[in-house]
Structure 1
Amino acid sequence: MTAALPGARRRGRDAGPRARFRDLLPYLAEHRPVLVGVIVLGVIGAGLSLAQPLLVEQVVTRVQAGTGIGTIVAAVAVVVAVGAVLSGVQHYLLQRTGTSVVLSARTRLIRHLLRLPVADFDRRRTGDLVARVGTDTTLLYAVLTQGLVDAVGGSLTFFGAIIGMAILDPVLLGLTVLIVLFAIVVVGGLTRRIRTASRRQQDAVGTLTAEVERSISAVRTIRAAGATDRETDAVLGVARKAWSAGVDVARASAPVVPIASLTLNLAFLVVIGVGGFRVAAGAITIGSLVAFLLFLFLMVMPLGQAFGAASSVASALGALGRITEVLELPQETADDAADAVPTSSPAPAIAFDSVSFSYRGADGAVVEVLHDVSFEVPRGTRTALVGPSGAGKSTMLSLLERFYDVDGGEIRIGGIDLKRLPREVLRAQFGYVEQDAPALAGTIRDNLTLAAPLATEEDCLRALDAVNLRSAVLKHREGLDAQVGEEGVLLSGGERQRLAIARALLADAPILLLDESTSNLDGRNEQLLRDSLAAAAEGRTTVVIAHRLSTVVDADQIVVVDGGRVVAAGPHAELLDASPLYRELAATQLLV
């Protein structure tokens, strides 16, 4: 298979899956006991609400008859008070459960995101993924807090009110139902528009988050280039697009509230007008008309809540579609068939055997990176990969870590096809220092112990000694607990690089993979680090990528790569005679 080309743009935003209401159910099922309790409270609350019109009818009837109303008024007061208390408890449980649903969604999304193949991160913008974890999951809160579970009690109130109204006056009920049905049909059409507009809005917000994240991470470059105003204008242009998408959502949802209000007012006026005539004609009593009006409010109130909930749920489903799009991406394979374990066989530590690999570009075109690459790295030796930029050297290390899988050929670790090694076991064989030597926001200790969580403070200090970084760390009052800043901004480039190497050494892996590990170091620190690495690599296998040949002239083997092919291999002196490309590289660096 081919991997996605780094930097390729993600697929069109409208290509993502459309979420349906049933896609929300797994999130709700995790909180079933609390939701059941909320529903029970809603049912009791609905029963108390439905009792109120009947009690009020009795009050009116007794007043007309001139009998005592003390007991019935007390009953009304108790019903109202108990209903209010239950409503408060239900509100708390809904808010708490809504927050829990957001946590559940974020947990699922984060667990999935951090296990996606590296190729997916190559073609997706970090800020957009961050927005899905933050902004999109927050919208799920509205599903519960704005009426989804409350709809159960509301439905009972709604249908109970209809039954009560049918008993009191079927004619008035028929007129009311006609008005309500018209409103339901109109709001149903609006809901589809709201969902589509909400999806576009969330996509726009994700793009804005990505743009802001890109600009902030490169703020020094932007300032130095005098491009602050241009960059600001570009980001504001994206912000205006997000605003426009938000206006579309507002435009789609704006009619919902007026329709709910119009429905209530129109139904009320019809009942008052027609009901007045029916009271005058003796068809119903005044008490029945009053009870009917109260039932009308009980029917329309959950209907208005349902209209508002439809708008909120539509927005939440738009966000859920973006969440589902990520959750449907396949994770790194589970390696179910990988059952091999590393051995101490005499086979080479690493062997590339006719390896080919390609990236897939944004337009679907295949970009070949490695072609029929073969070489071996004997155990306990130091091998350097050299060649022009873009020759495929860093890709080889990515293939060793199985960030991508080869298209053809085979890579063996200790004589075992690396695909037979579970990924965790495979990666435990390597201490890997990436080209840009990233540092994670947090403390120096956090960065050092990333691959060795049980390392002691003394272990950490020894690793820092090995890269000549101990004195720089201890000058901070916090020592190992000193913060490194976002992406290690509080460290110099050389310090970040040495910290990354110390992290790899602390992991104590049998194979070191170093990608341009000394590119940011001055001459003094470079020599100190070379001496330290030589000591640390004793008994280890080391593969190092270097543009500065002076750092690898003493390597046991130098593999020359050009255009994705191995064009020569051997020690420094031999390559000067045998490889024109290596001789050219050495000449440009004054090594011949």
Structure 2
Amino acid sequence: MSGSATARRRGRGAQPEGPRATFRQLLPFLFEHKRTLIVVAVLSVIGAATSLVQPLLVGQVIEAVQSDTGIGILVWLLVGFVIVSSVISGFQHYLLQRTGTAVVYSSRRKLIDRILHLPTSEFDARRTGDLVSRVGTDTTLLYAVLTQGLADAVGSAVLFLGALIAMLVIDPILLLLIVVVIGISVAVVVLLSGRIRTASTAQQEKVGELASGVERAVGSIRTIRASGATERETTAVSGLASDAYGIGVRIAKISSMVVPVSGIALQLSLLVVLGVGGFRVAAGAITIASLISFIMFLFLLVMPLATTFGAITSVNQALGALGRIQEVLDLPTESQDDEKIAASLPRETAAADAPAIEFRDVRFHYPANVVAARQAAAKEARTLLADAHLESAEDATPAVQDHEVLRGVSFAVPQGSRVALVGPSGAGKSTILSLIERFYDPTGGSIRL
């Protein structure tokens, strides 16, 4: 494909920012598994409690060693809490993985049910590959919401607050310095999280376009081969893959700035604690046992932050994908307004000689999204033929009509009869058959069956 054609196609693919979901729209997917999530929350609280006890026991062991008293019971208690914490963590991990898979499964079922009940006009306006990508790749991102730290947020909050209180009791001055360092890291993550969500939405849009391009090329492979257009289509679809790759790299760059933040916060906090804490031990303000306990609580304080930072990244990526999922789930189904339509029509008693099909002053105008999709397809066809030097870009494909196709059409088809529709191209013959099959609803009048 020539460079100008590639530029035209990529320009056509440039779209405004896609649909964005809110965290409230994510909650129904999670509440379907609220019992399991409650169990996970309880386990995370118990795990947090066992983790908070360990630094206190270590401090008591050190003090017992310094005072030359027995430490047997303390050591066994410490080992017991470590084992309990590990077992709880493993079982909690299993529950989260299973629930994450269940969330993906339920979201896919909802999408499949909604897609297969959409009006035919929606399939005319949307590419099949894009709908397939929403069922596949978009729903997969919901899995990370549960497995990347959001579900055990309760336990993380307990761990964070417990460590914060313990550190406040041990040494308020050291804690103040730690809060300053951590506060800066939190501000950086919040600043970057919005950019991650926007880039993730754009990436999923590009993946949808890529799936559509592959689906179109594979479905038309015989025509492509017969036209000698294999290389041209390969270049076009590869261009979509390149665009998705570019956005993926941008997400990786943003995420790479988020991931080190927790590590930097931990290292700076540790250096502050070792430096200032060592000075305070030398001055007699705190004991060595208290300093070691403080350092252990510091790790417990930073661990929930690291989990939270990961959860922010995964949730923002999931919300970008959820926007595309929710866009389809919010579309009205084919029969959603049937009751309203039926209620607005006058009730009639069918006569013995009533016609099998009757059109009464039917008017029809193709939906705007269908017209736009057909015009885009016609423009693409003209461009491809012009690139192949088969036709001029203006004459290769006729323009798509965007005016009213049927204007006050009325006729009756008697039962047991055959009726032929005769007329020139564009007169509305196919449209009438589509209305009888109810691929579309009339924009005016009524059709009686």
Q: Same fold (TM over 0.5)?
A: yes
Residue 299 of structure 1 aligns with which residue? 301
Letter in 2 for 1:41: L
CA contact (8 A) 2:40 2:151 kept: yes
The structure richer in strand per residue is 1
Residue 119 of structure 1 aligns with which residue? 121
How far does the alpha carbon of each residue in 1:266-291 deviate from its partner, in whole angstroms, 9 at most, with x for none?
00010011100011111000000000
Q: Which runs of 5+ in 2 are unaligned?
A: 1-11, 376-399
CA contact (8 A) 2:118 2:331 kept: yes
Aligned equivalent of 2:63, options 49, 61, 64: 61
Residue 185 of structure 2 aligns with which residue? 183
Residue 85 of structure 1 aligns with which residue? 87
**d(CA) in 2 for partners of 1:310 and 1:389?**
56
Residue 246 of structure 1 aligns with which residue? 248
**d(CA) in 1 for partners of 2:348 and 2:116?**
25
How far does the alpha carbon of each residue in 1:434-454 deviate from its partner, in whole angstroms, 9 at most, with x for none?
xxxxxxxxxxxxxxxxxxxxx
Counterparts of 1:365-444 in structure 2, within 5 Å, are 366-413=402-449
* DSSP 3-state at the match of 2:354: coil
CA contact (8 A) 1:358 1:407 kept: yes
Return the offset for 1:15: 5.3
Return the offset for 1:16: 4.2
**d(CA) in 2 for partners of 1:248 and 1:328?**
30
* DSSP 3-state at the match of 2:311: helix
Aligned equivalent of 1:269, options 268, 271, 274: 271
Return the offset for 1:383: 1.7
Counterparts of 1:153-164 in structure 2, within 5 Å, are 153-164=155-166
CA contact (8 A) 2:41 2:153 kept: no
**d(CA) in 2 for partners of 1:252 and 1:97?**
28
**d(CA) in 1 for partners of 2:402 and 2:213?**
28
Q: Which runs of 5+ in 1 are unaligned?
A: 1-9, 414-592
* DSSP 3-state at the match of 2:338: coil
Return the offset for 1:40: 0.3
Residue 210 of structure 1 aligns with which residue? 212
**d(CA) in 2 for partners of 1:272 and 1:227?**
68
Return the offset for 1:204: 0.5
Q: How many residues align?
A: 404
Given the alignment of the two structures, is residue 347 of structure 1 paired with residue 383 of structure 2, yes or no? no
Return the offset for 1:237: 0.7
Letter in 2 for 1:57: G
* DSSP 3-state at the match of 1:382: coil
**d(CA) in 1 for partners of 2:35 and 2:93?**
16
Given the alignment of the two structures, is residue 167 of structure 1 paired with residue 169 of structure 2, yes or no? yes
Q: Aligned in 2, Cα 1:182/1:31: closer, same or farther, shift over 3 Å?
A: same
**d(CA) in 2 for partners of 1:44 and 1:365?**
66
The structure richer in helix per residue is 2
Residue 28 of structure 1 aligns with which residue? 30
Residue 336 of structure 1 aligns with which residue? 339
Return the offset for 1:13: 4.6
Return the offset for 1:61: 0.4
Residue 199 of structure 2 aligns with which residue? 197
**d(CA) in 1 for partners of 2:281 and 2:216?**
71
* DSSP 3-state at the match of 1:321: helix
Residue 19 of structure 2 aligns with which residue? 17
Return the offset for 1:11: 11
**d(CA) in 1 for partners of 2:348 and 2:118?**
24
Return the offset for 1:224: 1.2
Residue 288 of structure 1 aligns with which residue? 290
Counterparts of 1:376-525 in structure 2, within 5 Å, are 376-413=412-449
Letter in 2 for 1:367: H
Residue 47 of structure 2 aligns with which residue? 45
**d(CA) in 2 for partners of 1:288 and 1:207?**
59
Q: Aligned in 2, Cα 1:276/1:47: closer, same or farther, shift over 3 Å?
A: same
**d(CA) in 2 for partners of 1:351 and 1:170?**
84
Residue 142 of structure 1 aligns with which residue? 144
Percent of pairs with identical residues: 58
CA contact (8 A) 1:16 1:325 kept: no
CA contact (8 A) 1:260 1:307 kept: yes
**d(CA) in 2 for partners of 1:17 and 1:208?**
18
* DSSP 3-state at the match of 1:367: coil
How far does the alpha carbon of each residue in 1:455-498 deviate from its partner, in whole angstroms, 9 at most, with x for none?
xxxxxxxxxxxxxxxxxxxxxxxxxxxxxxxxxxxxxxxxxxxx
How far does the alpha carbon of each residue in 1:211-233 deviate from its partner, in whole angstroms, 9 at most, with x for none?
00111111111111111111101
Counterparts of 1:215-226 in structure 2, within 5 Å, are 215-226=217-228
Letter in 2 for 1:358: H
* DSSP 3-state at the match of 1:14: coil
CA contact (8 A) 1:98 1:144 kept: yes
Normalised by the size of structure 2, how large is the TM-score?
0.86
CA contact (8 A) 1:102 1:141 kept: yes
CA contact (8 A) 1:222 1:228 kept: yes
Counterparts of 1:318-329 in structure 2, within 5 Å, are 318-329=320-331
Return the offset for 1:129: 1.0
Letter in 2 for 1:403: F
CA contact (8 A) 1:370 1:392 kept: yes
Return the offset for 1:309: 1.3
Given the alignment of the two structures, is residue 109 of structure 1 paired with residue 111 of structure 2, yes or no? yes
CA contact (8 A) 1:197 1:252 kept: no
Residue 488 of structure 1 aligns with which residue? none
RMSD: 2.0
Letter in 1 for 2:363: S
Return the offset for 1:379: 0.7
Which structure has more RCO (C-alpha within 8 Å, separation ≥ 6)? 2
Return the offset for 1:343: 4.9
* DSSP 3-state at the match of 2:426: coil
Aligned equivalent of 2:231, options 210, 229, 234: 229
Query: Greater shift after overlay, 282-291 or 328-337?
Result: 328-337
**d(CA) in 1 for partners of 2:425 and 2:205?**
36
